[in-house]
Chains A and B, each alone.
Chain A
Amino acid sequence: MKNLLYISIILLSLTSCKAQTIIPIFSTDDIPENPNYYHKDVANDLNKFEGAWKYEDTSTNTEFTIILQKKLMLNDNDGSYLYDLLIGEYFYKKEGTIMMNTLADINNTSIVGDYHNISGNSILHKYNAPRCETCNTSERRVQININHPTETEIAGYLTLRHIVDNGIEKLEAINTNASIMGYTQANYNQMPFGEFVFIKQ
């Protein structure tokens, strides 16, 4: 009798639970704001972008370094869906002047998900903007947002393509304006907009 009771409890526990709906991050479907949905990196597309990456132009004394980490099952505790996300921080030196250095925040546990200065999980194919003429049709890029740390309306769409060049892992990157109007031009000028090739550190 007791055994029956225990088995019933266990079965009840398992059957009363609702399955989670997984939506791959390479799908661009509109995801309901519901914690039963999980925008998941099912193909591990984000993994190859993890790590520290550095662009350097010694002729202009310019350096742009990003550190990216993949985070799983994030949510904002606001009833939204769960999602996997690349988060990151960056260092930018332009012509010898350090414009930005937020790298220390990568390990700041009080900063979560999209509150980091770099975040995103949009998977792009060859013909998504910005187009990648040299990409093959099955290749997947990633697009993430990069924000100004103090004026967060200033932002860029940082599009990354992972390549291996003579055994060296690189990221071909283009950072285009994604700011909300009304930004301060001086702060905007501190941002690393343009095209870069990062080398994995």
Chain B
Amino acid sequence: MKHKFKNYLKLGILLFGISITLTNCEKDDTTFENNTQHSIPSDFKITKFNSLNNTNNSSVISRIQGIKHAKLNTTLTKEVYNSEFDFTINTDNIKLIEIENHQSYIFVIERSYFTNKTENLVLTKQEDNSYKTYLITYVFTEVQKQQIRNRQSILGNFETDIQELANDMSSDLLSKIEYNSNTNCWVSTTEIHTIGNDYWEITDTNQCQHIDPITGLNDGTCDVDIIQSVFGCAQDISGGGTTSDSSSSPDGSGPSSNTGSGDGGGLLGYQSNSQPCYDKKCSNLHITPSLPEFEETTPCDELKKLATPPTILPKFTELKNHSNDTTPYGKKEKGFKIRKNPTTNSLSAGTVVTGSNDGTNFGVNIPPTPYMTAIVHTHPTTGSIKMFSPQDILFLARMANVIDSSISTTDLTVFLIVNGESYAIRFDDVPTVQALQAIYNNKGKRERFKRKLRQLYEKDNNSYTGQTSTIGQQKQRMLTFLNNQNLNISMYQADDSNGFLTKWEKYNNDGTKAPCN
């Protein structure tokens, strides 16, 4: 009996030990990795030039400068203006794309009028070392534009039109390549004129007519052959690759080179080798969308664009003046919304509203709307929260929840004016938009988020002297908090030394800041 009891005791100790092992120990860490790899072609290279001469390619230089009817724009000396096509070729921002032995130079085309199209002039090197010229037109949504800015694959459909331009850039279109959505192929329609350039009308692929330049009538001749061929099929668009930057050295003595690698290559459209290719020409055309707004727009540029239109800037001025008001009236917040017209992309400001200040509520209440791209508001200098409140940060997610798909969530901005200083916060990337939305949409997480940041702001209030935390201390608390939360939300501050809201600086996590426009 005693022996049996001993065995039970031993078994009990063993089970107790095992149960302790199972219940008290630390959980295994689970790591979730976001796979951000793109399906990208790895063998392409993009080189950027900021002037035509820096390309060191005499064929390209003469091709651009020799465009028929072209003239150098005297006010914009780095641009070539083509009066006949009514566009300007920007030579500040040239890309050279090289894939295997193929080369394409991409130029940004600018119009003197508003267009929602992205237009590029592309010079593509041929086997005989000559260049063909294409006019490439894209129509992207704002979301797709942001995907390009973020070097992400473009999701969804977008319109593309490719026209091959005549070597002499006459008004006649020698070749046009159109995408046929039924066959998923590009069809090249080439016109071969046997008479000099005149006024031609193509009525359909089988008929044409020649208008006599003197009589203005159809003279019955048909001196054009039209050839159709499949140019290529199943375009693959992706981002990635290697980027080199080649630009003038600061003293202007010549080009300098800066080569990097990784995800800097941007969007690339090309004919995949794995796809049917009925015409060798298809492997010669390599394109990537290029526009000043894609390549040169920084968040600081965007902040300037939002703040400085003539209809909006006076409202910023009104709020700035209010933020310096130390009277009880100054305790009330003021604010207004900035709306983006989905058709014209023009910006407009809403009415300036004022908070109530009933002793417990000083804030403004501006509801988010589908086309609201930014909100501007003040905080009183004497208030306990001088920097962005937890609610201000969460409002970014609230805007993202209701915004129209034509507006990119990473364009959403919350401006704050306090003590005459202008600040802004914006998402750096789409995953952070989703991460903040996840916090906002979960009440438990949202409450903890609000509680933690508020506690941090209160941390610097001295419990013995009564000294309250400063704007600088709260700034640093917020930056550290966002960093600890793994939220890529950047803060910016306007540098008004050379004009109100024209220059903006971005904060680093350590509280230092650097100009970004």
Contacts and interface: CB of A to CB of B under 8 A. Distances in A.
A28 B451 CA distance: 10
Interface of B: 10, 13-14, 16-18, 20-21, 24-27, 358-368, 375, 384-385, 391, 394-395, 398, 443-448, 450-452, 454-456, 458-459, 461-468, 480-481, 484-485
Given A30-B480, A193-B360, A17 B365 contact: no
Contacts of B464: 137
Nearest to B394: A180
15 contacts: A9-B21, A13-B20, A13-B21, A16-B25, A30-B481, A30-B484, A113-B444, A121-B451, A124-B458, A127-B467, A129-B385, A153-B398, A177-B360, A180-B394, A181-B364
Most chain B beta-carbon neighbours within 10 Å: one of A35, A130, A131, A178: A178
A90 B385 CA distance: 27
Contacts of B468: 127, 129
Contacts of B456: 28, 30
B361 A119 contact: no
Given A127-B468, A194-B359, A2 B10 contact: yes
A6 B17 contact: yes
A109 B467 CA distance: 43
Nearest to B26: A18
A185 B465 CA distance: 39
Given A32-B484, A182-B365, A194-B360, A13 B24 contact: yes
Nearest to A3: B10
Interface of A: 2, 6, 9-10, 12-14, 16-18, 28-33, 35-36, 76, 78, 80, 113-115, 119-122, 124-131, 137, 143, 145, 147, 152-153, 155-157, 174-183, 185, 188, 193-194
B327 to A, nearest CB: 19
Contacts, number: 142
Given A32-B484, A180-B395, A114 B360 contact: no
A54 B367 CA distance: 34
A32 B448 CA distance: 12
A12 B21 contact: yes
A29 B481 CA distance: 10
Contacts of B367: 181-183
A114 B391 contact: no
A14 B17 CA distance: 9
Contacts of A131: 466
A28 B455 contact: yes
A38 to B, nearest CB: 13
A131 to B, nearest CB: 8
A125 B463 contact: yes
Contacts of B358: 193
B444 A185 contact: no
A12 B16 CA distance: 12
A10 B360 contact: no
A31 B463 CA distance: 21
A52 to B, nearest CB: 22
Contacts of A6: 10, 13-14, 17
A6 B21 CA distance: 13
A117 to B, nearest CB: 10
Nearest to A112: B444
Given A76-B445, A122-B454, A183 B462 contact: no
A182 B363 contact: no
B461 A127 contact: yes
A145 B451 contact: yes
A127 B460 CA distance: 10
Contact of B458 (A28, A33, A156, A185): A28
A120 B20 contact: no
A197 B327 CA distance: 29
B458 to A, nearest CB: 5
Most chain B beta-carbon neighbours within 10 Å: one of A124, A128, A137: A128
B444 A114 contact: yes
Contacts of A129: 384-385, 458, 461, 468
Nearest to A128: B458
Contact of B363 (A80, A126, A152, A179): A179
B448 A80 contact: yes
Given A145-B450, A182-B395, 19 more contacts: A10-B16, A13-B17, A18-B25, A30-B452, A32-B484, A35-B27, A76-B445, A114-B443, A120-B447, A125-B463, A129-B468, A147-B443, A174-B360, A176-B361, A177-B363, A179-B363, A180-B394, A183-B367, A194-B359
Contacts of B398: 153, 180-182
Contacts of A156: 360
Contacts of B363: 177, 179, 181
B26 A127 contact: no
A23 to B, nearest CB: 11
The 5 nearest A-B residue pairs measured at CB: A129-B384, A177-B361, A9-B17, A13-B20, A28-B459
Contacts of B25: 16-18
Nearest to A130: B384
Contacts of A128: 384, 458, 461, 463
Contacts of A114: 443-444, 447-448
Given A153-B398, A182-B398, A127 B463 contact: yes
Nearest to A154: B365
Contact of B463 (A10, A13, A122, A137): A137
A143 to B, nearest CB: 8
A155 B54 CA distance: 60
B443 A115 contact: yes
Contacts of A185: 365
Contacts of A36: 26
Contact of A9 (B14, B451, B484): B14
Contacts of A32: 484
A7 to B, nearest CB: 9
A2 B16 CA distance: 15
B394 A127 contact: no
Contacts of A177: 360-363
Contact of A14 (B20, B394, B447, B484): B20
Contacts of B360: 156, 174-177, 193-194
Contacts of B16: 10
Given A10-B13, A126-B463, A181 B391 contact: yes
A147 to B, nearest CB: 8
